[in-house]
Every structure is written in C-alpha cells, then in structure tokens.
Chain A
Amino acid sequence: QSALTQPASVSGSPGQSITISCTGTSSDVGSYNVVSWYQQHPGKAPQLMIYEVTKRPSGVSNRFSGAKSGNTASLTISGLQAEDEADYYCGSYAGRVPFWVFGGGTKLTVL
C-alpha cells in the first residue's frame, strides 16, 4: 500500500481538463511544499512534470499545473491531448523517516 493515495484512474475527452488528487498526511504533503508529479508512458521511465507543488520544469507544457490544499496535492491537465494518456505518480518528502514517498499512481485515459 502506497503512502500517498491517488485515484486508480481518471478519464477525459480531448480538449477537456482533468484533475488528479494526491492525498497524504500532515507528516508529508501537509507539511512540506516539495510535492512532485511524474508522467510515465508504457514501457518508459517516469518524467518529471511538476515539482515543489506548482513549478514546471523547462520543456513541460503549461497545460500542466499543480496545487496543494492541506494534505492533498493535485495535478491539473488542461486541453487534454491524446499524448497525455499515461500513468501519473505524485511524490513527496515525508520527513526524516520515511524520507520519501510515492503515490499509487493514476492511469489517465483520453477518450
């Protein structure tokens, strides 16, 4: 069982917006602004999409945005495109122990 809770799946039509939640506790997501999000296409390595809750690395589309409220972080993808279909994982620093945790992953289907 993963430390951070994500919905198993979400779906949306091209052009729509979707939001993926990542729920932790006051010991991880709620305490630190170092939540990151990773996109993983089948058979590929994860790729960083968002870090420090809201920051986008160079080269990542501005259709991807992050937010946090309390113990829950979220990733929003606007203007859905077929290429966004992938698995998405959140991760967060979790204090001295257990140090780092990932979510269970969310499969995004673009209808």
Chain B
Amino acid sequence: QITLKESGPTLVKPTQTLTLTCTFSGFSLTTGGVGVGWIRQPPGKALEWLAVIYWNDDKRYSPSLKSRLTITKDTSKNQVVLTMTHMDPVDTATYYCARSQWIELPDHFAPWGQGTRVTVSS
C-alpha cells in the first residue's frame, strides 16, 4: 500500500520561509520512473502544481514560483522536502504531495497525501 503524508507548520508569518516534508511508504524514490510532486490549493480555488523531483534527482518547478522553491529528497528516510521562501498571505493553501510517474513522459499524480493546511498571517 502506497501512502504519503505531509507535515509542517500550520501558520507562518509573511516573509518567512516555509518548509514542508512529505513522508511516504510503499515505494522507493530510487526506482526508475518514480517521482514525488507538490501541489497546492488555496481555499475554494483550483489545484496549482508547484514542483516535482524524480528518482534520478531531476527537479522541475512551476515557472511562476521557481525563484522561491527548492525541492529535495532523502531516499534513506523516504522523504521529500519542499521549501518556499518569502511567504505571503496569498500562499495560504492546502499543500499536497503525491507520487508521480515518468513512464514515456511525465505522467499522472497518484496517490495523494491528505494535505496540510498552511496559513500565512502576521
């Protein structure tokens, strides 16, 4: 059974850096074709893809947020960490991590973690 779970602060202040951890089980990030991505969803709004990291350490970022994001993996701990700098109230959202697959091309996200709600406020 594949599971993912996000963890991190529920409240951050504007200008601070957010660090989120995705801890997963049931698969390995050393397996070819496997990746873990981050997606967020502001309250009442649509999904927004943020970043993904693959088994070969290939990292891709949303162009609009690239300057603020860093994604890393720790295969020994089965964890993926996302950092986002210069947090702003508009970054208030539920942040999800999900397994990704690169088959012939970057493919779908499944399964997803339960999500973690992050509020940016002073």
Q: Which residues of A contact B (CB under 8 A)?
A: 2, 32, 34, 36, 38, 45-48, 51-52, 57, 89, 91, 93, 97-105
Q: When the two chains form their complex, are residues A102 and B47 in contact, meaning their CB atoms are under 8 A apart?
A: yes
Q: When the two chains form their complex, are residues A2 and B110 in contact, meaning their CB atoms are under 8 A apart?
A: no
Number of contacts between A and B (CB, 8 Å)? 70
Contact residue among A32, A45, A93, A104 (Cβ-Cβ distance under 8 Å from B112): A45
Is chain B's binding surface mostly helix, strand, loop or mixed? Answer: strand
Q: When the two chains form their complex, are residues A104 and B108 in contact, meaning their CB atoms are under 8 A apart?
A: no
For A34, the chain B residues whose CB sits under 8 A away are 105-108
Q: Which residues of B contact A (CB under 8 A)?
A: 37, 39, 46-49, 52, 60-63, 96, 98, 103, 105-115
Given A45-B96, A91-B109, 11 further pairs, Cβ under 8 A: A38-B109, A45-B112, A46-B112, A48-B108, A51-B110, A89-B46, A91-B49, A99-B52, A100-B49, A100-B60, A102-B46
- Pull 21 A–B residue pairs with CB atoms less than 8 Å apart, ordered by A: A34-B105, A34-B106, A36-B107, A36-B109, A45-B114, A45-B115, A47-B111, A48-B111, A51-B108, A51-B110, A93-B107, A99-B61, A99-B62, A100-B37, A100-B49, A100-B62, A102-B39, A102-B46, A102-B49, A103-B46, A105-B46
